[in-house]
Amino acid sequence: MRRQTTFHRLTISLILVFLRFLPCMAPPAKKARIAPQGNISSFFGPKKTVEASAPPRPELKPEPPKNPKPSGPGEASTPTKEESQKASSPCAGVPTPEKSGPPVPRRVATACSGRFQSGFTRDKGSNWQQYNNLYRLRLKQLAGACREEAKQQWHSIPERGFLQDLSEFRGGNDGEIVVVGILFKELHNRPNVIDEYKGSKALLTSIKDEASVLYSEKDTLWLEDSVMRIQLEVAPELLAVFATGFVVAVRGVATQAGTLRTIGVQMPRMPVVPVISPSQTKGSYIALVSGIGFGDDRNVEARRKAIDFLCKATGPAVEQVVLCGGCFAPSCQLDGDSKAITAALKQMDSELLPLVEAKPVQVMPSYGEPTNASMPQLPFHRSLFGQLSSSAGFRPMGNPCSLNFDGLEVLGHSGEPIKDLLRSAQLEPMEALKKCLEARHLAPTAPDTLLTQPFEDSDPFVLESVPHILFSGGHERAVHHWHPCVRGGGTQCICVPAFHLHPALVLINLRDPRDVRIEEFSAMQM
């Protein structure tokens, strides 16, 4: 009995000693992690977490040196041992990564002409640029116009049926709903970019095959926003005419499988097109020429006749000329022989000189020519040319190009966005150009399959206003179509033919855009 009592007392003493020193053995507290509000999908940007910052430590002020020895005028003071070591250090004056200052903004050169100059020129750059921000900006700029047009066209749907974003989407809900987002087309025939450039030392070793078709019947269509994505069940004829990058409003019914059975699709609401009152007098014309192909000897005679026609203007009075890309023959582009490129520049300098001395000529570049490869493209540098560089009528422009002639808005490009869209959608060139106008976007497939730059402030290809003339260069034949606007006015859509394929140019009346004429020349010399 006495032994048990002694054992119990010893056990209690050990427990008391352990509890006395227990606070000293507790581990240090960990920093809390605070997650920001909101949910961001992986397409528009990764999720982020923010560590809770510790309370700031009191700043320690250095103590003044004891018994400082004053130095007289012109007398150098002797540095201390610490100051000598600091001055002799190789990293003196260089900020460490922990104490580095704010990054210096770098200027990014981009191309533009006319009213889109402010949109294509950026002074602000970042250390790490991604393309998902471009989609977010595009959705922000066009989502309101899509929702406004959808409410006007589908007024039978109650207000609760118009979802603010895809987070409100619930599968199996009864009734029709309307959601707004960006289309993503999953192309079954699209090649793997890693396999395409595996073992290649350069990305731009040759011009890409623009004739390759990426769309098929096995493609699927998705709708995305900054929150999530949903798959669309669409009819085959609707699947064929859309591609990645269009901002649309989709009307449909949610299924039990989590998809949206699509009933209809609406494009953004179009702004009012300013109406130009036709002049009583006969107006002058603007000439659009594409694919004139300097450096190719097979169409020299037809090209000479076209230049003579523009210089003399025996028929309609031509006031302005726009070369819509394709200034050089395909053999002189990108991976062509340097001697052939030099010869093409000299030929362009000599043959185009009489025209630029007679009237203003806006010259646009295109893919594969001596400028940057991505859209938008910079104008040709004047140092490439000899006599043309000193002529006042020679006006290098960017691609896309925007012009204004006494209130007439002219907008267009050399054809790359339309050709790239035709790879992903089953459309004719004019149908693709009209769809871009209705979608209020010049290059919807950029940056998915069309080279462009990761803009940060806004999407410069979004049409904030509608032009009177919208053109696209480099096509097989000349086609034009008047696209009326429901709210007044309209836009003349023009597919300018490549001169080496169809020797012709397009004339548009500057006072009446509906007045379009096609001037054809003799066949190419073989």
In a shared domain, residues 249 and 332: no
Q: Residue 49 — pLDDT band, cuts 50, 70, 90? A: very low
More confident residue, 83 or 319: 319
Section 16-20 average pLDDT: 52
Tally of structural domains, the chain: 2
Residue with the two structure tokens 């606007």: 485
Residue type, 54: A
Instruction: With CA atoms as reference, report the closest residue to 220 among 208, 212, 230.
Output: 230
Measured between alpha carbons, how far is 421 from 481 in angstroms, rounded to an integer? Answer: 19
Say if residues 126 and 188 touch (Cβ distance below 8 Å).
no
Residue 212 has a pLDDT of 82
Say if residues 507 and 285 touch (Cβ distance below 8 Å).
yes
| E-strand stretches of 11-81 | 33-34, 50-51
Domain boundary at 198, 233, 266, which?
Answer: 266
SS percent in the chain: helix, strand, coil, step 5: 25, 20, 50
In a shared domain, residues 228 and 318: no
Name 370's Cβ contacts closer than 8 Å, sequence gap at least 6: 341, 380, 381, 384
Residue 79 has a pLDDT of 47
In a shared domain, residues 212 and 315: no
In a shared domain, residues 387 and 465: yes
In a shared domain, residues 226 and 318: no
Residue with the two structure tokens 């005028």: 73
For residue 395, being part of any structural domain is answered with yes
Residue 457 has a pLDDT of 86
In a shared domain, residues 344 and 216: no
Residue 209 pLDDT > 90: no
Say if residues 455 and 462 touch (Cβ distance below 8 Å).
no
Q: Residue 67 — pLDDT band, cuts 50, 70, 90? A: very low
For residue 426, being part of any structural domain is answered with yes
Measured between alpha carbons, how far is 17 from 76 in angstroms, rounded to an integer? Answer: 65
In a shared domain, residues 277 and 257: no
Domain boundary at 210, 236, 266, which?
Answer: 266
Residue 525 pLDDT > 60: no
More confident residue, 100 or 262: 262
The whole domain housing 439 covers 110-117+272-520
Q: Residue 340 — pLDDT band, cuts 50, 70, 90? A: confident
Section 484-511 average pLDDT: 90
The CA distances from residue 162 to 20, 153, 445, in Å, are 65, 13, 27
Residue 313 has a pLDDT of 60
Q: Kindly report which listed range (120-129, 152-161, 236-245, 274-283) carries the lowest average pLDDT score.
A: 120-129
Measured between alpha carbons, how far is 509 from 228 in angstroms, rounded to an integer? Answer: 48
CATH assignment of the domain containing 297:
3.60.21.50
Residue 115 pLDDT > 80: no
More confident residue, 227 or 81: 227
HEC secondary structure over 181-233:
EEEEEECCCCCCHHHHCCCCCCCCCCCCCCCCCCCCCCCEEEEECCCCEEEEE
Name 491's Cβ contacts closer than 8 Å, sequence gap at least 6: 273, 437, 466, 467, 468, 469, 470, 482, 483, 485, 513
For residue 376, being part of any structural domain is answered with yes
Residue 223 has a pLDDT of 95
Compute how many other C-beta atoms are within 10 angstroms of the C-beta atom of residue 164: 12
Residue 104 pLDDT > 50: no
Residue 334 has a pLDDT of 61
Count of H helices and E strands in the chain?
Answer: 11, 18
CA 188 to chain centre: 24
For residue 373, being part of any structural domain is answered with yes
Residue 408 pLDDT > 70: yes
Residue 95 has a pLDDT of 42
For residue 382, being part of any structural domain is answered with yes
In a shared domain, residues 315 and 214: no
Residue 272 has a pLDDT of 85
- Would you state the structure tokens that stand for residue 461, as one six-digit string? 């290809």
Instruction: With CA atoms as reference, report the closest residue to 103 among 133, 126, 130, 129.
Output: 126
**Run of H or E residues at 287:** strand 285-289
Residue with the two structure tokens 């002639």: 405
More confident residue, 18 or 94: 18
Q: Kindly report which listed range (18-27, 46-55, 395-404) carries the lowest average pLDDT score.
A: 46-55
Residue 8 has a pLDDT of 58
| Per-residue pLDDT tens over the stretch 118-129 | 444 443 444 556
Say if residues 262 and 463 touch (Cβ distance below 8 Å).
no
Residue 66 pLDDT > 50: no
In a shared domain, residues 352 and 306: yes
In a shared domain, residues 370 and 509: yes
Say if residues 116 and 219 touch (Cβ distance below 8 Å).
no
Section 183-201 average pLDDT: 79
Query: Torsions phi, psi of 257, nearest 5?
Result: -80, -5
Measured between alpha carbons, how far is 509 from 406 in angstroms, rounded to an integer? Answer: 12
Beta bridge partners of residue 153, listed in sequence order: none
Section 324-345 average pLDDT: 80
Residue 437 pLDDT > 50: yes
**Run of H or E residues at 418:** helix 416-424
| E-strand stretches of 336-475 | 361-364, 394-396, 401-405, 408-413, 469-475
Residue 135 has a pLDDT of 92
What three-state secondary structure class fits 407?
A: coil
Residue type, 327: C
Say if residues 339 and 379 touch (Cβ distance below 8 Å).
no
CATH assignment of the domain containing 175:
2.40.50.430
Angle at the Cα of 26 from the Cα atoms of 21 and 30, rounded to 5 degrees: 165
In a shared domain, residues 261 and 280: no
**Run of H or E residues at 394:** strand 394-396
**Run of H or E residues at 420:** helix 416-424
Q: Residue 168 — pLDDT band, cuts 50, 70, 90? A: confident
Say if residues 295 and 344 touch (Cβ distance below 8 Å).
yes
Section 144-159 average pLDDT: 93
Beta bridge partners of residue 221, listed in sequence order: 185, 232
Say if residues 135 and 226 touch (Cβ distance below 8 Å).
no
More confident residue, 341 or 205: 341
Residue 133 has a pLDDT of 87
Domain boundary at 211, 242, 266, which?
Answer: 266
Say if residues 184 and 244 touch (Cβ distance below 8 Å).
yes
Residue 30 has a pLDDT of 38
Say if residues 240 and 421 touch (Cβ distance below 8 Å).
no
Instruction: With CA atoms as reference, report the closest residue to 268 among 463, 113, 431.
Output: 463
Compute how many other C-beta atoms are within 10 angstroms of the C-beta atom of residue 117: 14
Q: Kindly report which listed range (91-95, 129-133, 520-524) carries the lowest average pLDDT score.
A: 91-95
- Would you state the structure tokens that stand for residue 362, as one six-digit string? 């806006």
| Per-residue pLDDT tens over the stretch 76-98 | 444 444 444 444 443 444 444 33
For residue 3, being part of any structural domain is answered with no
Task: Return the top range by mean pLDDT from 102-111, 167-176, 277-286.
Answer: 167-176
Residue 494 has a pLDDT of 97
Instruction: Give me the helix-helix angle, 300-312 and 338-351, nearest 10°.
Output: 30
Residue 377 pLDDT > 70: yes
What three-state secondary structure class fits 49?
A: coil
In a shared domain, residues 260 and 278: no
Residue 463 pLDDT > 60: yes
Residues of the chain with pLDDT > 70, as a percent, come to 68
Residue 258 pLDDT > 80: yes
For residue 301, being part of any structural domain is answered with yes
For residue 75, being part of any structural domain is answered with no
Name 214's Cβ contacts closer than 8 Å, sequence gap at least 6: 187, 189, 190, 423, 424, 449
Residue with the two structure tokens 């030392």: 201
What's 415's DSSP letter? Answer: S
CB burial of 84-108 (b: ≥16 within 10 Å; e: otherwise) equals eeeeeeeeeeeeeeeeeeeeeeeeb
Mean pLDDT of the chain: 77
